[in-house]
Amino acid sequence: MRALVASLVLCLYLIPGVGHAQFELGKQYVKLPPGAPTASGDKIEVREFFWYGCPHCYRLEPYLESWLKNIPSDVRFVRTPGVASRWLADARAFYTFEALGVTEQVHKDYFDSIHKKGQKLDNEPSLVQFLSAHGVDPEKARKAYNSFGVRTQVENAKQLNYRYAVESVPTITIDGKYKTDVSMAGGPNELLVLIDYLVEQSRQQRKRAANN
């Protein structure tokens, strides 16, 4: 059903005039100040600011998973954890996953453990136990969790949250130029169409810049 609804919304977007009329700067999305950092090189960056404990982020996850199955070759998707004080344990968990190279393996299960199973995974012992259940050596998990690299990544995330003026999650940014969220877009399906629309805007801007 979700896929059908998304397809219908996308079809509306593809009808001449409908997509452009549907999205309005200042309403469905805002522009970011010039110089917002990206980490995607020559690819168009789509960045999600999220928190594992956020029910709205959890509900958005299946929609993003569906969108990622057909992500354009010139687009790179990046996750960045939110860094409000009570979110920091999960930010550290995310970068521990990254350091261990297991993010794609455990990302969904970590979300499910919190929201479906009601587990509290907000400290080192619980995180090590979670990772151990997913085949990660406990000593390697502890070493990654306490590493300088993970602490540095969390600090970098704080800077990104500040630079992008992230006030709530989930927040989506496109190519360091635009920012939106589910509420602004009008729903999760509409958000996916809006992301594609803003990716295309960024793509055309890059083409014009390359031709100048």
Angle made by CA atoms 147, 129, 133, in degrees to the nearest 5: 115
HEC letters along 107-136: HHHHHHHHHCCCCCCCCHHHHHHHHHHCCC
Choose between 49 and 19: higher pLDDT.
49
Neighbour-count burial of 192, counting CB atoms closer than 10 A to its CB (0-12 exposed, 13-18 middle, 19+ buried): buried
Which element (helix H / strand E) includes 180? strand 178-180
Residue type for position 125:
P
Question: Helix or strand or coil: residue 203?
Answer: helix
What amino acid occupies position 156? N
**Torsion sign (Cα): 209, 23, 48, 81:** positive
Q: Which amino acid appears at position 81 of this protein? A: P
The whole-angstrom separation of Cα 66 and Cα 68 is 5
For residue 166, give every residue at least 6 positions away whose Cβ sits within 8 Å of its Cβ, in sequence order, or none: 49, 82, 160
Which pLDDT band, with edges at 50, 70 and 90, does 22 fall under? Answer: confident
**Among 122, 129, 54, CA closest to 92:** 122
Residue 141 · residue 95 · CB < 8 Å: no
DSSP structure class, residue 33: P
Is the pLDDT confidence value at 212 over 80?
A: yes
Supply 70's token pair: 């057909």
Q: How many domains does the chain have?
A: 1
Range picked from 32-36, 41-45, 154-158 for highest mean pLDDT: 154-158
Alpha helices per DSSP H over the chain: 2-14, 18-22, 55-68, 88-100, 103-115, 124-133, 138-145, 148-163, 182-185, 188-211
Top pLDDT among 161 and 5 is at 161
CATH of the domain at 120: 3.40.30.10
Cβ-based burial of 27 (10 A; exposed 0-12, middle 13-18, buried ≥19): exposed
pLDDT value of residue 94: 98
Task: Map residue 56 onto helix, strand or coil.
Answer: helix
Supply the pLDDT for residue 21.
53
pLDDT at residue 28, as a whole number: 98
Spatial distance between the Cα atoms of 169 and 82, rounded to a whole number of angstroms:
7
pTM attached to this predicted model = 0.89
What average pLDDT does this structure show over 87-102? Answer: 98
Q: What is the residue range of 156's domain?
A: 2-211
Residue of higher predicted confidence among 164 and 21: 164
What integer pLDDT is reported at residue 39 of this predicted model? 85
